[in-house]
Amino acid sequence: MNLAEVSGSLSAIGYGLAAIGPGIGVGLVFSAYIQSTARQPESSRITLPYVWIGFAVIELLALLGIAFGYAFGQ
């Protein structure tokens, strides 16, 4: 008995699952930045480059999902 039949590629679902982690991670980066800036407004300029570096490193995980989805999806 087929309860749910799927045709075509499952990579979109896989990518959706893979994007959960980076989504949470990017959220944590910006929440930490907003909190630190609220507590110490003068520090906002100092921490901003590190926010973008952290964001970029985490975002890469989601982007790897896109690239590998096409690279290995055939």
Nearer to another protein, 1 or 71 (CB): 71
Q: Mention every residue, 6+ apart, whose C-beta is less than 8 A from residue 26.
A: 55, 58, 59
Asked if 10 is part of the footprint of another protein (rule: CB under 8 A), the reply reads no
Asked if 56 is part of the footprint of another protein (rule: CB under 8 A), the reply reads yes
Nearer to another protein, 2 or 74 (CB): 74
- The token duo for 29 is 């980066």
Asked if 14 is part of the footprint of another protein (rule: CB under 8 A), the reply reads no
Asked if 24 is part of the footprint of another protein (rule: CB under 8 A), the reply reads no
CA distance linking residue 45 with residue 3, whole number of Å: 55
- The token duo for 23 is 């989504």
